[in-house]
Amino acid sequence: MRVNRVSRARTRTALAALAVAGLTAGAAAGAGPATAQPKAAPAAAPDCSAAYRIEQKLSNGTTWRMCWRHEAMAGMILEDITYQPPGESKPIKVLNSSKLAQIHVPYDDGSEEYDDVTSYYFGDGLENLAAGECPGGTIRTVKVRAPESTDTRNVKGLCTTTRARGHAYRMLNQPMQGGQKLYQKQGKDLLVYAVNKVSWYEYITEWRFSDDGTIHLNVGATGSLAPQDYDAGDGRGWPIGKGPKARALSHSHNVFWKLDFGLDGSSKGRIEQYDSKVTPQAPGDRAPTNKTTATKITKETAGDAKNMRWWRVVSATGKNKDGHPRSYELVAGPNAKYSGRGFTKHDVYFTQYNKCEQYASNNKGNCPTGHPKSVDKWVNGQTLTNPSVWVNVGFHHIARDEDQQPMPVHWQGFSLAPRDVTAMNPLTPAELAGANGRLD
């Protein structure tokens, strides 16, 4: 699905003039919230005023809190994210910041390559949401500042809602004496999402905050196949429509996220990598053996997902009620890694925090002259005391007949799973609260 970049370039050229003329028609055309009239947000305050605050207590008692803000380039950014499960007397800080750091789109025939976030002001494409797109929730009004302008327009563009996700757990308990008892709970998520249009693409940027402390970060691509793009005559495409001639050109979506952790209020977390190796069954053993080895990542590193490999970010200060350091584990999703560029060759990058390093490629973070422009060049052996985490998830899009019209959403993303954040399952029923650790 090639993007119509020529028309987009023309749109960008006209933005300043349109802003001066009062570009508000998009906001007026948008539908209202699903349950309440959206309120226009005042200018963002440093302390996260009520208009920029999200707080949701889910049905099982878990509360998520965070601040949101919008940038013309990055789009929606979530900050100061805290998690408070039942049984915790105060919120547990998880992330200082979470945002999209790039959407890199190279085409299979080498004819085009785009950085949709930094080259085309991704955030400026924020779309109005219809009420049906935010079922049971609230659509908030976002002030979108036009690029290179002080003018703003109101967009009903941020949805916050809740959604059931199915079983959180199920256990049939059969005591030594007495009858059986079934323990089961249906899980709930807080969803925060927005839609940004980049010519033919419409990207859904979504965060899911689960009642068990898990965070899911996803980007979904939908919209339309570009009608002028049925020209993959060299075999680098797929026939769409009647006959074999019209071939939609294949391409990749390489999506980057930037995460700055603040576990327990400290940015000085440490990174650990875990690898497990299975050894064939030896004589006398009942089965093959499996050994897990931990490696502390103390210097800037680029890493790749492998079978039985994972990473976690460990709190520098906080422990759970069992005395174990709190941490969050990176859980990889499906990934079609694109090896054509240095910054796309690895799945994760751990770099020392630098205020000017904001985007994984074609960085527009106001770095000094001569500073490298991509995340792979920032990995230079510096000691990690305040790590930034960059996650790269690729999707190779070979179009199909079912992609028209409109194109179904294809998702890519990953998760952050709590590891020892609480001493037990945060959704444990009260009658099982004593079943912590070894059961005698």
- pLDDT of 178 above 80: no
pLDDT of residue 240: 84
Do 95 and 81 touch, CB atoms closer than 8 A? yes
What average pLDDT does this structure show over 216-225? Answer: 94
Least confident range from 107-111, 113-117, 324-328: namely 107-111
What average pLDDT does this structure show over 241-245? Answer: 76
How far is residue 434 CA from its own chain's centroid? 35
- pLDDT of 45 above 50: no
What average pLDDT does this structure show over 347-368? Answer: 96
Do 160 and 64 touch, CB atoms closer than 8 A? no
- pLDDT of 380 above 50: yes
Q: Other C-beta atoms within 10 Å of 387: how many?
A: 23
- pLDDT of 148 above 90: no
pLDDT of residue 42: 38
- pLDDT of 4 above 50: no
> Quick one: pLDDT band at residue 123, thresholds 50, 70, 90?
very high
pLDDT of residue 426: 95
Q: Other C-beta atoms within 10 Å of 74: how many?
A: 22
Percent of the chain with pLDDT over 70: 86
Instruction: Look up residue 428 and give its amino acid.
Output: T
pLDDT of residue 439: 73
Phi, psi of 16 (to 5 degrees): -60, -45
Query: In a 10 Å sphere around its CB, with 0-12 CB exposed, 13-18 middle and 19+ buried, how is residue 137 labelled?
Result: buried
Least confident range from 128-137, 154-163, 290-299, 400-409: namely 400-409
pLDDT of residue 245: 72
- Across the chain, mean pLDDT equals 87
- pLDDT of 232 above 70: no
> Quick one: pLDDT band at residue 234, thresholds 50, 70, 90?
low
> Quick one: pLDDT band at residue 34, thresholds 50, 70, 90?
very low
* 402 vs 37, more confident: 402
- pLDDT of 231 above 70: no
- Over the range 197-209, which residues count as b (16 or more CB within 10 Å of their CB) and which as e? ebbbbbbbbbbbb
Short-list 257, 267, 259, CA closest to 360: 257
